Amino acid sequence: MSDDQFLAASAKHPIVPNHVYKYGTAGFRMKADLLDGVSFRVGLLSGLRSRKLNGQAIGVMITASHNPAIDNGVKIVDPMGEMLEQEWEAFATKLVNSPSDQELLENYKALASQLKIDLSAPGRVVYGRDTRPSGHSLVAALADAFEATNTEYTDYKILTTPQLHYLTRCVNTEGTPKAYGKVSEQGYYEKMAEAFTRALRGRKPQGQLIVDCANGVGGPKLSECLKVFPEGNIDIKVVNDDVLRPEVLNLDVSQS
């Protein structure tokens, strides 16, 4: 990693002046037009996190769940598919709030020194996004951070959040006695179908289950998942699965 390369990449993704960012349970979540610089800096932190954990893959998900379509968010997933270690939330907050490109570089190096992270060691990040139009630019900002810091990365494109958690764990356990599943969306669907079949214990549910997907990423993904379920196991009808019109995402959805 060269300082010049780092600074040039950072200059492409500034944070909004005088806005205070805080990493919470949902990561950084707010209006999407405030997030370009945040996504870049989360990319930096996720690479550091991977290096701290001896090159294990870290996940990054671009989503705002049930929020309106104008919102988005960026959150980090630890190697076994769990939430980011709480201590690192403060590191994320400090790094993202660095007021200039130069101070960002200094804070990045200081954090690496504090945590005894070798910046020349390999790092790996996997990431995905939901169907919000703003996701395109936010994953581009992530990729710029990885390129600037020589971090290996894999873009799994459009996913649900649980799928990204699943893939992160699978990547880190592949080829071990604790392999969690196939490193693919298909592997996720197969694992869900197998678990559901085991849970039924031979019983057959009665009636139809209607799933309102609020025109989000869950609609098409659930439809794909149902193709793997054994025929006749359960009658599920997917409704509100229009992901082609951003304006109807989570329209009139309650957040309670």
178 is a domain residue: no
Residues 63 and 168 in one domain: yes
The pLDDT score that the predictor gives to residue 256 is: 46
Cα-atom radius of gyration of the chain, to the nearest Å?
19
Is residue 229 domain-resident? Answer: yes
Name the band, by pLDDT with cuts 50, 70 and 90, for residue 214.
Answer: very high
The pLDDT, as a whole number, for residue 205 is 84
Residues 125 and 196 in one domain: no
**Catalytically annotated residue among 39, 50, 65, 98:** 65
State phi, psi for 243 to the nearest 5 degrees. -100, 5
Please indicate, yes or no, if residue 142 is contained in any of the structural domains. Answer: yes
pLDDT for 143 equals: 98
Calculate the average pLDDT of the chain.
Answer: 95
Percent of the chain's residues with pLDDT above 70: 99
- Does 22 share its domain with 92? yes
Higher pLDDT, 66 or 190: 190
Asked if residue 256 belongs to a domain, the reply is no
In the residue annotation, 65 being an active-site residue is answered as: yes
Residues 23 and 149 in one domain: yes
Residues 34 and 106 in one domain: yes
Same domain, 156 and 192: no
Decide if 180 is inside a domain: no
Q: Which residue type, as a one-letter code, is found at position 48?
A: L
Number of domains in the chain: 2
If you average pLDDT over residues 124-138, what whole number do you get?
97
User: Of 109, 140, 173, which marks where a domain is finished?
Assistant: 173
Average pLDDT over residues 40-45: 99
Is a pLDDT exceeding 70 seen at residue 98?
yes
In a domain, 255, yes or no: no
Q: Is the pLDDT of residue 22 over 60?
A: yes
DSSP code of residue 34: G
pLDDT of residue 255 exceeding 70, the answer is no
**Domain endpoint, select from 150, 173, 196:** 173
Q: Is the pLDDT of residue 139 over 60?
A: yes
| 136 and 110, same domain (yes or no) | yes
Do 141 and 33 fall into the same domain? yes
Long-range contacts (CB closer than 8 Å, 24 or more residues apart) made by 198-203: 200/233
pLDDT digits (tens, 9 = 90+) for 142-174: 999 999 999 999 999 999 999 999 999 999 999
Instruction: Give yes or no for residue 177 having a pLDDT over 70.
Output: yes
Whether 253 maps to a domain, the answer reads: no
Burial state string for 61-90 with b = 16 or more CB within 10 A and e = fewer than 16: bbbbbebbbbbbbbbbbbbebeebeeebbe
Mean pLDDT of 75-90: 98
- The verdict on 41 and 7 lying in the same domain is yes
Q: Mean pLDDT across the stretch 83-89?
A: 97
14 and 139 in a single domain? The answer is yes
For residue 151, give its domain range: 3-173
Task: Give pLDDT tens digits for 229-239.
Answer: 887 778 899 99
How far apart, in whole angstroms, are the C-alpha atoms of residue 71 and residue 116? 36
C-alpha torsion sign, points 49, 55, 57, 63? positive
54 and 116 within one domain: yes
Question: What pLDDT, on a 0 to 100 scale, did the predictor assign at position 247?
Answer: 84
Would you say residue 113 lies in a domain? yes
Q: How many CA atoms lie within 13 A of 15 on its CB side?
A: 23
Say if residue 70 is in the same domain as residue 100.
yes
Average pLDDT rounded to a whole number, residues 118-139: 97
The strand pairing partners of 239, in sequence order, are 212
Q: What is the CATH number of the domain that holds 107?
A: 3.40.120.10
